[in-house]
Structure 1
Amino acid sequence: MKSKRGIQIRDIAVYHPNTVRDNQYYLNQYEDKERELAKSVMEEILGRDRRYVIEPGNGENSLSLSIAASKAVLEKTGLSGSDIDGIIVCSITAEYMSPTQALMVHNEIQGRVDAFCFDLRAACIGMVSGIDIAGKFIKMQENTKRVLVVAAECMSLIWKKEDIVDYTCFGEAACAVIVEATNDSSKDIHTRYWNDNRTSELIPLPKKGLTERVLNSDCVLEFELSPSESISLERCKPEIQRILRDNHITLDDIKIFCVSQLSKQLGEEIYEALAVPMEKRIYIGDKYGYTGANCTYICLYEAIKQGRVERGDYILIWTMGYGDQYVVS
């Protein structure tokens, strides 16, 4: 009888562009009341200070960031492309619709010919979902031992300065994780999802759909964002409590809580609802901006760098995607 496999994160790496934009960069583009509004949004609601952004003219995009982060995590672990059994790339701003970005990453890291490669388009819950799927692959398939999961978004390509919240909210970075099998069956990644759907028709990207964008060259690639509007905070606490109860652990057992970095205000609301002590909170939105699908794992990356967590600790990850979708892991 085969022993039950465990799942663990082998390591994690982050890659970001060199260009940094602080709040003053954005304030310089506004005057009078708009300037005051932008300052209030960035400082009081979003909690921003600076963020990394791509320079498209230098060939930077979500694919180039994904490749760089993937190579970084391989170098960090001493692994090569031939050690990877599958690649999942998570992005809603993929540089190409086809072929998959995962296949392009596979080519760059010289992956094995029999490795599975696919993209996952799950908006801001993309990386949490990708790691969940990777874990399930490993559990179900004996010949799958390691999966590379990488996420990157380049939202600065979309926003216009007239949309102050959108324009000042986002930053850009890629995060890559290697999920691998372990013989310790006590190590695992448990994930729960729930859906609300109240905004699924209100904030599509592209705003008017792909067909309209193809038929009408004047149709811009955009959608509208409101950071705290419609978020089902009342559903978050019971779902988080349920995943803890199902795994026989308590909030006190969690070493650090990595929550969505969409806005500092949102994070504080989640922390307060759960009565999370300050020493178990982490916020990186002031340094990175909101990086979308990978933001919670960049939180984990920074927590590890700061020595706040170590292997064997319980980590709780919560994030949401417009639609509305929520996930806790």
Structure 2
Amino acid sequence: MTNIKIKEIAIYHPENSVENDYYIEHFKKIHGEDYSHFFCDILGRKSRYIIDNDEENSLSVAVEASKRVLKTAKMNAQDLDMIIFASQVPEFVFPTNSVLVHRAIQAGTNTGIMDMNTNCSGMTTALDQASRYLLGNPHMNRILLVGSDYLSLVPNPEDSITYPNFGDAACALILEKTDEDTGFIDSIYFTDSSNFNRVTFPRSGLSKKLKGLDSTNYLQWLPFDGDVSLPNAYKIIDTLLERNNLKPEDVDSYCLSQFSITNINKMQKHLNLKNEQMIYVGDKFGYTGTTSPLLALHEGIQDGRIKRGDTVLFWTVGVGYQLIAVLFKY
């Protein structure tokens, strides 16, 4: 039986790490308030990697992560059948960023390319779609999936939710067909578009921005109930586990959205999970958007908490909003 496994995974982030102290002092000066409790205990931040130069961007860090994963996998880019690039802050609209990754790593002429944007759920969605595409296409065997967000580029420095929360990083992995009893298991989605206008960039749309009708350069983040997605997240995870004859305790590791530690704690409580099942890296990387759950996977592998044969559940949310959960045997 053909399965789809994660052959290798690699990450790249800028060298510049910014600690909480900078943001605490920043908002004391702007708002005259101490946000220490919010940054540390609600968001769960300690540091985050931030691009601080004019050379790096979402494309350049994606290229570096792609080169690293190919080296780790001992693969030549000519062996790739497709490149999928996931980002919500792409460096280019024309051409596709995936074609620029293709050029940078010198992939072959028969390598397909695709950009994907489902906001913060992008790389997890791409993981699902790429796995199913490989299963359905007998002529394709390997896909490079790379996710990258330059999130620190877009928040308003006066916004206490996004500005101190976001970090910059790229993650790349090789998906490969295998006869091993491992790999992709199942996925599930939930979409509620009622909050479609709460988070926007450009604020009023690209056409108004380019016509000079919107002078705002920052992400619009209007107040909304951050817990609104959790009940539906519980439902889809319960459904996903039930239809694969699994209980929450049967999953070895949960790689969830790293947007806030409080949401992860709520998920842990709802599913009655042990601490060792929860992979949290948001204190080190900040919130990195599309790569968020996959960064957790990488860190779990690096520190030995996730091993070959382990069952992993990915879950995240894209603004608007869309939920996705994916089951994988690593």
Structure 1 and Structure 2 fold alike (TM over 0.5): yes
More off after superposition, 66-75 vs 181-190: 181-190
Cα distance between partner residues in 1 of 2:157 and 2:218: 14
User: What is the CA distance between 1:220 and its match in structure 2?
Assistant: 2.0
Alpha-carbon distance between aligned partners in 2 of 1:144 and 1:242, rounded to the nearest angstrom: 30
For residues 38-65 of structure 1, the C-alpha deviation after alignment (integer angstroms, 9 at most, x for no partner) is 32321121010000011242x0100001
Aligned to 1:268: 265
Matched residue, 1:145: 141
Whether the aligned pair in 2 keeps the contact of 1:213 and 1:221 (CA below 8 Å) is no
| Contact 2:86 2:122 (8 Å CA) reproduced | yes
SS at match of 1:117: strand
Deviation for aligned residue 1:225: 5.7
Instruction: Give the aligned partner of residue 194 of structure 1.
Output: 190
Report the secondary structure of 1:29's partner residue: helix
CA distance in 2, matches of 1:243, 1:31: 44
SS in 2 for 1:193: strand
Q: Deviations over 1:115-151 (max 9, x none)?
A: 1101001101101111111112211111110001111
Match of 1:22 in 2: 19
TM-score for both structures, normalised by structure 2: 0.94
Is residue 49 of structure 2 the alignment partner of residue 52 of structure 1? yes
Query: Which structure has the highest strand share of the two?
Result: 2
Corresponding residue of 2:321: 324
> Alignment length, in residue pairs?
325
Equivalent residue letter for 2:325: V
Task: State whether residues 10 and 179 of structure 1, in contact with CA within 8 Å, keep that contact through their aligned partners in structure 2.
Answer: yes
Matched residue, 1:106: 102
- Assess, with a 3 A threshold, how the Cα gap between structure 1 residues 285 and 51 changes in structure 2: closer, same or farther: same
Q: Which amino acid aligns with 1:283?
A: Y
CA contact (8 A) 2:6 2:183 kept: no
Which residue of 129, 144, 155 maps to 2:151?
Answer: 155
Q: Give 1:238 deviation, angstroms.
A: 2.1
1:302 to 293, 296, 299: 299
1:78-97 deviations in whole A, cap 9, x for unaligned?
00111111000000100111
Cα separation, partners in 2 of 1:316 and 1:81, compared to 1, 3 Å: same
Q: CA deviation at 1:251?
A: 1.4
Contact 1:258 1:282 survives alignment (8 Å): yes
RMSD: 1.6
Aligned-pair identity in percent equals 32
**Is the 8 Å Cα contact of residues 191 and 243 (structure 1) preserved in structure 2?**
yes
Matches of 2:14 and 2:302, distance apart in 1? 19
Amino acid at match of 1:67: V
2:116 and 2:122 in contact (8 A); partners too = yes
Q: Which residue of 2 aligns with 1:283?
A: 280
Question: Residues 181 and 157 from structure 1, CA distance in 2 versus in 1: closer, same or farther, beyond 3 angstroms?
Answer: same
* Cα deviation digits, residues 168-195 of structure 1 (max 9, x gap): 0101110001111012366423111111
Residues 156 and 218 in structure 2, CA contact (< 8 A), matched pair in contact too: no
Mapped to 2, the partners of 1:301 and 1:228 lie a distance apart of 30
Offset at residue 206 of structure 1 (A): 1.3
Describe the SS at the equivalent of 1:169: coil
Answer yes or no: is 1:242 the counterpart of 2:246.
no
Please name the residue that 2:59 is paired with. Answer: 63
With over 3 angstroms needed to count, the CA separation of the structure-2 counterparts of 1:296 and 1:186, relative to structure 1, is closer
> What TM-score does the superposition give when structure 1 sets the normalisation length?
0.94
**1:117 aligned onto 2:113:** yes
SS of the residue corresponding to residue 133 of structure 1 reads helix
